[in-house]
Amino acid sequence: MNRRDFLAAAVAAACLRDPSPAAPLTLVDAHVHVWETSPQFPFAPGATVPPHLDASAATLLEKMRSNGIARTVLIQVIHYKWDNRYLVSVLHAHPDKFAGVCRVNPEDPAAPDHLSYWTQQGCRGVRLSPAGNASGDWIRGPLMHPLWQRCESLKVPMTLLLPVSRLPDIVPLLEKFPALPTVIDHMADCPVDDPHSFRLLQSLARYPQLFIKVSHPWSLSGQPFPYPNVMTMIARLRDAYTADRLMWGTDWPIKPELLSYEQRVALYRDHMPFLSPAEHQQLLSGTATRVWPA
């Protein structure tokens, strides 16, 4: 072996022993709410808005900057109900930083047309929130098919905040609209001590366009940070859905007494050793970017 070949072999061996640092992770936060107290954007009658809580877009942008968040998906907060104007104003002001998911009244026959309007204003999807009691039975009603069909024709995803007990109610919709990307928020709030319900959540992985937000484990766990029992659930959801259909979210600024924004980011960035580097990047940005392209 000549000297040049020897040096090349030595460099190659060194690279194997001491690989270059991994590329920085890209982070896309898939679940955040924003609001401001403003006469221009009044809250809905009867809204219960936490006092003295700064949930403005300006504050969020600073938190994103200091925590390395590239983009954020804004979910219309219930304080405004079906009036998405504040959300739209934020989207227009910062189109490179945010995607937006609106709300429409699911019990209004005109909901599909309202969705079309808000989509024209810049929103990229809709969120429905059927309660677990009889007040949420509209999820099984005749107004769902036109609304889901409009989502499909507009090519915007359907997002669902619902308890795990409601999962059987959406199966007929998943069957009828198999090509529509549908996102389940917060792992359907599946209790950590309910294996039957968790198996139901796992079983819906048979629908290839169903995505799961593995968000707010701090509200589910009952254990201290980093919530090992919920981390086990997330690992099992990875096995069922693959990381290509899982996404994280800070759920900021909800329940600030439980966890800071910085801790929420760190949880997903630094405490998921069961994911391979490729899986980790999918969960942190790849999945959300596919569902809500920049």
Is pLDDT above 80 for 279?
yes
In a domain, 192, yes or no: yes
pLDDT on residue 4: 36
Both tokens assigned to 147: 């609304």
Strand partners, 182: 158, 210
Q: Are 44 and 7 in contact (CB under 8 A)?
A: no
Both tokens assigned to 170: 């959406």
Residue 157, exposed/middle/buried by CB under 10 A (0-12, 13-18, 19+)?
A: buried
pLDDT on residue 24: 76
CA dihedral 234, 240, 244, 250 (to 10 degrees): -20
62-271-279 Cα angle (round to 5): 95
Confidence of residue 255 (pLDDT cuts 50, 70, 90): very high
In a domain, 147, yes or no: yes
In a domain, 133, yes or no: yes
In a domain, 158, yes or no: yes
Confidence of residue 271 (pLDDT cuts 50, 70, 90): very high
62-33-281 Cα angle (round to 5): 70
Residue 11, exposed/middle/buried by CB under 10 A (0-12, 13-18, 19+)?
A: exposed
Q: What is the overall mean pLDDT for the chain?
A: 93
Number of domains in the chain: 1
Question: In 3D, which of 122, 22, 112 has the Cα closest to residue 76?
Answer: 122
In a domain, 1, yes or no: no
pLDDT on residue 42: 97
If DSSP codes are grouped into helix, strand and coil, which group holds residue 216? coil
In a domain, 6, yes or no: no
In a domain, 53, yes or no: yes
Instruction: Please report, rounded to a whole number, the percentage of residues in the chain having pLDDT higher than 70.
Output: 92
Which structural domain, as residue segments, surrounds residue 282?
A: 28-291
Q: Are 80 and 41 in contact (CB under 8 A)?
A: yes
pLDDT on residue 23: 62
In a domain, 14, yes or no: no
pLDDT on residue 13: 36
Both tokens assigned to 99: 């995607």
Q: What is the pLDDT of residues 18-44, one digit of tens each?
A: 333 456 789 999 999 999 999 999 999
Is pLDDT above 70 for 155?
yes
pLDDT on residue 229: 98
How far is 285 from 186, CA to CA, in rounded Å? 17
Length of the chain: 294
How many helices (DSSP H) and strands (DSSP E) are in the chain? 11, 8
Both tokens assigned to 159: 């997002």
Please report, for the domain that includes residue 281, its CATH number.
Answer: 3.20.20.140
Q: Are 65 and 27 in contact (CB under 8 A)?
A: no
Is pLDDT above 50 for 202?
yes
Encoded amino acid at 33, one letter: H
